[in-house]
């Protein structure tokens, strides 16, 4: 008796990153009321929260495309479209970060590490220090470090 190999059977749909993204977005859509986003309550709803069409309208995307994302279909979602979804679903900062992690995208609202708000002279001075030294930004991202700090960490 032979057992089928894993190559014969693709992973279940719910095991894909696209499915996890869809589940996450759907859960957050269902927790929002129409009033929370400035829409009239309208007639009785079969399911809690916003309708897919309403979220798509708030995001400026087609209802079909939004539905495909929720269904876990392998569609390409740009960082800009994901940012609009995050705003429409009123995601917290942590939820937004998780959304972009699930989609394997970089959040356009994240600070650019190359755009340091530290003076250039401070960043250059780190190299002159004989002990481990580094400069952190407000979000605790390392902006610059010397070789001793690199060896230490």
Q: Can you read off the two tokens belonging to residue 153?
A: 């960490």
Mean pLDDT of 61-74: 92
Q: Can you read off the two tokens belonging to residue 32?
A: 């929002």
Task: Determine the pLDDT at residue 77.
Answer: 86
Coil, helix or strand for 145? strand
Query: pLDDT tens-digit profile of 111-152?
Result: 655 555 678 888 888 899 999 999 887 777 888 899 999 998
Only one residue has tokens 């705003």, namely 87
Highest mean pLDDT among 8-22, 36-50, 118-132: 118-132
- If you write DSSP's letter for every residue of 76-121 in order, what string do you get? ---HHHHHHHHHHTT--HHHHHHHHHHTT---TTSPPTTS--S-HH
User: Confidence class of residue 13 from pLDDT cuts 50, 70 and 90?
Assistant: very low
Q: Which of 17-21, 29-33, 39-43, 123-127 has the lowest mean pLDDT?
A: 39-43
Q: Which CATH superfamily is domain 13-102 in?
A: lambda repressor-like DNA-binding domains (1.10.260.40)
Query: pLDDT > 70: what percent of the chain?
Result: 86
**70 vs 9, residue with greater confidence:** 70
Enumerate the H helices of 1-78 as residue ranges: 17-31, 52-59, 63-70
Q: What is the mean pLDDT of the chain?
A: 83
Q: Which helix (H) or strand (E) holds 46?
A: none
Domain limits, the chain? 13-102, 120-152
**Of 132, 133, 93, which Cα lies nearest the Cα of 110?**
93
| pLDDT for residue 2 is more than 90 | no
Q: Which helix (H) or strand (E) holds 123?
A: helix 120-125
């Amino acid at each position: 008796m032979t057992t089928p190999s894993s190559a014969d059977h693709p992973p279940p749909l719910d095991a894909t990153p696209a499915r996890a993204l869809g589940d996450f977005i759907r859960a957050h859509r269902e927790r929002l009321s129409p009033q929370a986003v400035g829409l009239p309550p309208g007639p009785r709803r079969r399911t809690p929260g916003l309708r897919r069409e309403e979220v798509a309208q708030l995001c400026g995307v087609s209802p079909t495309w939004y539905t495909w994302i929720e269904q876990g279909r392998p569609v390409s979602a740009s960082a800009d479209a994901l940012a609009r979804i995050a705003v429409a679903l009123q995601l917290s900062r942590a939820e937004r970060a998780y959304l972009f992690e699930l989609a394997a995208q970089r959040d356009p609202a994240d600070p650019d590490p190359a755009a340091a708000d530290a003076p250039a002279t401070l960043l250059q001075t780190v190299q002159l220090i004989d002990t481990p030294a580094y400069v952190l930004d407000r979000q605790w991202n390392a902006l610059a470090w010397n070789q001793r700090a690199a060896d230490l960490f």
